[in-house]
Structure 1
């Protein structure tokens, strides 16, 4: 699972103006099919209008929105059959974790976001195969490539904030400005409270997927393992490798026990089959039975009469 929040840049990565350019770009694969926390099939024009309208007290050069990319692995996609409904369910769970990760006591309904599922990806300049010259830039990648793009407003949901403010539920003067690229991480002192721990969010997104779909994630598929292998000390990497080997051996032992149990049950099943498979011959109607001619009982031969000889004349 990859949960990525792209940093600022030029072109579509520039987030200080309208979200319309990014929304239009994400229409490239299929028109429409945007969804939010509680809606489906939101038109692209409404996505842009809603995001651009949800802002307060932001300067001209301030970020107005951010993009979150959720990319399940091919193993994860196989686990859910690339089901679009499950992908939408996961996205909403991941955005609940996005809200909670700021440490400000907010929920998914305090955000304004829209998301879209895409099924194709092309090679880019950052791909190793492109750098080595094995494939060309812009070539479609093989295998399942389903992923989700989320555009989320920097400002918390203004409509909900205003409603809670009027009801007396909130006493904050201004809505939150929520930046996942902030350098604050669980800050407890100063003007800014909370923050956003991006590594922690990646782990929370994984946990949201596993919990939603009962996915048993191997250690080698976790963000913690990948991050440690790339940034950890040699000692940390070695310890995780040992743990991964032990986990793999335990899984192989469980599999061997299960196979042995199945093999032991096979002979019993084979013995039971002939008994269960016995089929009685259907009775033949009387009128269809062959008629047999009755045979007369054999008569005993007549006793042989002896000739009585008289006197000779």
Structure 2
């Protein structure tokens, strides 16, 4: 389970309105019949139109400055193992979203009218998507790029030969292109992975748009707060502030496991990924102390997904983490041979 919380982009492709972002989330519906479309929903309603989402989010921005985000985007990406546990992706993910937002409000250290924040205080809209495409930032695209550049150069040469601007053997150039296509390190369904190609497998995930202001348009509820929990003096009164992201991420996993009966392995947990970054040796020791069957499953997960990187790691910590991961790899064969679980 990977969850990200991102503030609205105020420059570049995104304006002061939420319209561009909501329009982007509508991309999968293009060309589909009404029955096949995924619509926006919130805690209480289904089938909400994109136009209504824009109207509600844009109209809930009282006293926010131009450079302050008007909304936050929460992206929830279950793993393929988590998705496999669901009976009906769309309905199950919708159900999970509504449970997840209970964890979201519980993670605020804020009071509204002298009480803790509750579901009625937030204004959010969510949408399920089932596709992902490879982006320029993906590892597969970056590592295929040198081959893509050479292939493009050769194709340009072929066009010049065809137009009479250059002499050469088109057949020979085509052979070189075919060789480069094979040599590229990353393929999917027999084809070199390129930017914009749809990713294979179940890619279902959730996008949630949450207004920065509460539903009454009176209070600011920012999950981007740098404080987990603190109090500050404002207008002669003590005011609570903060949002505990660690609590939210950990609660999100527990809610999924409880809702769908999912048995989460150590390496799938938010805490484990955080330990890997902050204290790789602690991560390694915890992994090696797992019961043998759980440890074998953990190594299987690691071998399929690679290092459990979460966010950016400082260089010094990355070097330590790499050493630890190499130790993990050396232990992989031993863990498999000593277990009764086949991989």
Would the TM-score normalized by the shorter structure come out above 0.5? Answer: yes
Q: Contact 2:38/2:128 (CA < 8 Å) preserved in 1?
A: no
Provide the secondary structure at the position in 1 that maps to 2:231: coil
Structure 2 residue 248 is matched with structure 1 residue 201: yes
Counterpart in 2 of 1:136? Answer: 194
Matches within 5 A, 1:34-73: 34-73=40-79
- Please, which moves more after superposition, 54-63 or 38-47? 54-63
* Distance (Å, rounded) in 1 between the aligned partners of 2:109 and 2:215: 16
Q: Contact 1:37/1:109 (CA < 8 Å) preserved in 2?
A: no
Structure 2 residue 166 is matched with structure 1 residue 120: no
Structure 2 residue 204 is matched with structure 1 residue 146: yes
Structure 2 residue 187 is matched with structure 1 residue 155: no
User: Please, which runs of 5 or more residues in structure 2 have no aligned partner?
Assistant: 30-36, 111-115, 145-185, 187-192, 298-335
Point out the structure with the larger strand share.
2
Deviation at 1:81, TM superposition (A): 3.0
* Distance (Å, rounded) in 2 between the aligned partners of 1:61 and 1:234: 38
1:93–1:11 CA distance, 2 compared to 1 (3 A)? farther
State the aligned residue count.
237
Which gives a bigger RCO, structure 1 or 2 (Cα 8 Å, sep 6+)? 2
Deviation at 1:227, TM superposition (A): 2.2
* Distance (Å, rounded) in 1 between the aligned partners of 2:74 and 2:225: 15
- Deviations for 1:285-313, whole angstroms, at most 9, x for unmatched residues? xxxxxxxxxxxxxxxxxxxxxxxxxxxxx
Provide the secondary structure at the position in 2 that maps to 1:137: coil
1:237–1:249 CA distance, 2 compared to 1 (3 A)? closer
| TM-score normalised over the length of structure 2 | 0.64
Deviation at 1:55, TM superposition (A): 2.2
- Deviations for 1:106-153, whole angstroms, at most 9, x for unmatched residues? 122211011110000011122111111132111111111000101110
Deviation at 1:246, TM superposition (A): 4.8
* Distance (Å, rounded) in 1 between the aligned partners of 2:295 and 2:2: 26
* Distance (Å, rounded) in 1 between the aligned partners of 2:99 and 2:20: 26
| TM-score normalised over the length of structure 1 | 0.69
* Distance (Å, rounded) in 2 between the aligned partners of 1:138 and 1:250: 35
Counterpart in 2 of 1:289? Answer: none
Q: Contact 2:266/2:287 (CA < 8 Å) preserved in 1?
A: no
Q: Which has the larger radius of gyration?
A: 1
* Distance (Å, rounded) in 1 between the aligned partners of 2:202 and 2:121: 33
Deviation at 1:223, TM superposition (A): 1.2
Deviation at 1:78, TM superposition (A): 0.6
Matches within 5 A, 1:1-313: 1-7=1-7, 9=9, 10-12=11-13, 14=14, 17-30=16-29, 33-104=39-110, 105-133=116-144, 134=186, 135-158=193-216, 175-191=218-234, 193-229=240-276, 231-244=277-290, 246=292, 248=294
